[in-house]
Amino acid sequence: MTAADGADRAPARPVALRRVLPALLLVVAVVAAVSIPHLPRGVCFGDTGDLQLASATLGIPHPPGYAGYVTLGYLATRIPGLSPAFAVSVLCMAAGIAVLVLCVLTQVRIGVAPWAAGAIALLLTSHPRFWQNLTTPEVYMPSLVFLTGAAYLLIRYAQTGGRKSLFAAAFLFGVALANRPPVLLTLPFFVAAWWLAARRWEPSRRHAWKSFVRVLAFAVLPGLYSVGYLWVRDTPQTPYNYIEHHNAEAGELPQSGEGAVAKLERIVWQASARQFHYRVGNGWSGVRTKLRWLRFELVAHDTVPFAVTALLGMLGIVRTFRRCATTGILLCGMGLQSLVFVCIFRDVGQAADLLPLLFPLAVFGGVALSTLFPIDGAWRRQLVAAGFMLVVTVTSVLDVPHRPNYAGSVDATDFLRDADLATFPEQSIILSSWSESLPLLYARHVLRTREDVDVVIAQPGNWLRLAESFHGRPIFLAGTDGNFKDRVVTPFRNLWRLQE
């Protein structure tokens, strides 16, 4: 037997679905039950509202455009009985539940008992970052489900040799990459994992290269779709087009109607997220700050919990590589991609993209736990594992009321109700910053409350200049930060009216 033949040998036998299904059903039922009541009631502010609005109108959200996510979101908004905004929230929550299912299945594939794997997945939901993205409609959870789905299918190919799994893995990786550029950092690890698995299942180098070409084709397809989507939807007629709104104020891009070259320039600007490139790049002091932030996010500050966590993590990594080298390569790649991006991205917070690090840490923790609860352990160990999951389930449910209400901080339902656009004068203009404009645009384009009311997105410092260009039309402001010292501004519902 060669080294490649023995590299991916765990578990020794495929685990029957009937053994894993009870744990999976319990995870899905519990997470869905505790998450749905904590979802936003309707449309949101900021990035969350951006994704909801773009999905409901088949529009273009902020860079890099997320064409795949918006398409899935649009299909979700067609579900009868759900408001479009809430349907997108449910879709993102479902993506989070799918991540937990993949977390269980990945652990089971490398020797963790199903009940113990389910307990680890439930523990993952208690992390604030995971809980935040589970209960708010953001792009991070859909990105994670495609990336982890690609990794799981590649692991399955490494252990079984099924080429359908390989090609599906390539396609899902392409979806993740087309919608989330930092995924590119994991590409060397996915290629290395494929090469290791191909040594076992491809009869010759010639067959391996043919397989690689087909893999490349499947991986490129989502990117081609994203470019095509942006090409078709980047027009002034699209109800919500972030590129149009941004360019109306910044004026740094050509107009979409100026020809193919101009349109291609706009697509490159969007797909490469050029608007946010200034946030990438950190000095050593910034990297140290990020590493301290990471330690705070992942483990306690105290030395003993940190040391115990580090030792368990190292044990899990070593045992994972011994059982399935492909799995170890992929999970380490996901974790390193997240770590590198966190360190080079200047913002500290949501856009730091911590989720791809949490997933492998959870799997490594489960592998370390498999010493106590192996996949083929005695019935007593299996019973203890089931008891462990029961305890974690009860603890998780009881802990939910104490978790932060992230949805409440972004939910714009009350803001939109209090604005009551139906009472605005005809042909009104609302000047708003980007975050507050999204629920107003949602009311205009999706709810069709007042299609004659125009919402103009701009920085508050530009409101005065813009207001002077709308002669004879009632002007309203979504805040009082504009430079209107010489003008009379009076409250109007929860907005402000600029007096002529």
Helices (H) and strands (E) in the chain, counts: 22, 5
Break the chain into its structural domains and give their ranges: 3-407, 413-498
Residue 278 pLDDT class (50, 70, 90 cuts): confident
Residue type, 31: V
Residue 351 pLDDT class (50, 70, 90 cuts): low
Architecture of the 413-498 domain: 3-Layer(aba) Sandwich (3.40)
Beta bridge partners of 468: none
Q: Where are the alpha helices (H) located in 370-472, listed in sequence order? A: 379-399, 406-410, 413-419, 434-445, 463-467
Q: How many residues does the chain have?
A: 500
pLDDT in the model for residue 210: 86
Which of 52-61, 171-180, 328-337, 374-383 has the least mean pLDDT? 374-383
pLDDT in the model for residue 12: 46
Q: Is 70 exceeded by the pLDDT of residue 352? A: no
Q: Is 50 exceeded by the pLDDT of residue 151? A: yes
Q: Who's near 311: CB < 8 A, 6+ residues apart?
A: none
291, two tokens? 């590493």
What are the Cα distances from residue 316, in Å, to 6, 155, 325, 339?
19, 17, 12, 18
Q: Is 90 exceeded by the pLDDT of residue 428? A: yes
Which of 8-12, 395-399, 420-424 has the least mean pLDDT? 8-12
Question: pLDDT digit string (tens) for 280-308?
Answer: 888 888 888 888 888 778 765 555 555 66
Question: pLDDT digit string (tens) for 435-464?
Answer: 999 999 999 999 998 889 999 998 888 888
pLDDT in the model for residue 1: 36
Confidence (pTM): 0.93
pLDDT in the model for residue 9: 55
Q: Is 80 exceeded by the pLDDT of residue 92? A: yes
SS (H, E, C) 291-308: HHHHHHHHCCCCHHHHHH
CB atoms within 10 A of CB 24: 19
Question: pLDDT digit string (tens) for 164-211?
Answer: 999 999 999 999 999 999 999 999 999 999 999 988 888 887 888 888
Residue 5 pLDDT class (50, 70, 90 cuts): very low
At 453, is the secondary structure helix, strand, or coil?
A: coil
Answer whether 154's CB lies under 8 Å from 109's CB.
no
Q: Is 50 exceeded by the pLDDT of residue 161? A: yes
Question: pLDDT digit string (tens) for 26-38?
Answer: 999 999 999 999 9
Q: Is 60 exceeded by the pLDDT of residue 368? A: yes
Across residues 242-258, what is the average pLDDT? Answer: 91
Residue 249 pLDDT class (50, 70, 90 cuts): confident
Question: pLDDT digit string (tens) for 300-346?
Answer: 555 555 566 677 888 999 999 998 999 999 999 999 999 999 888 88
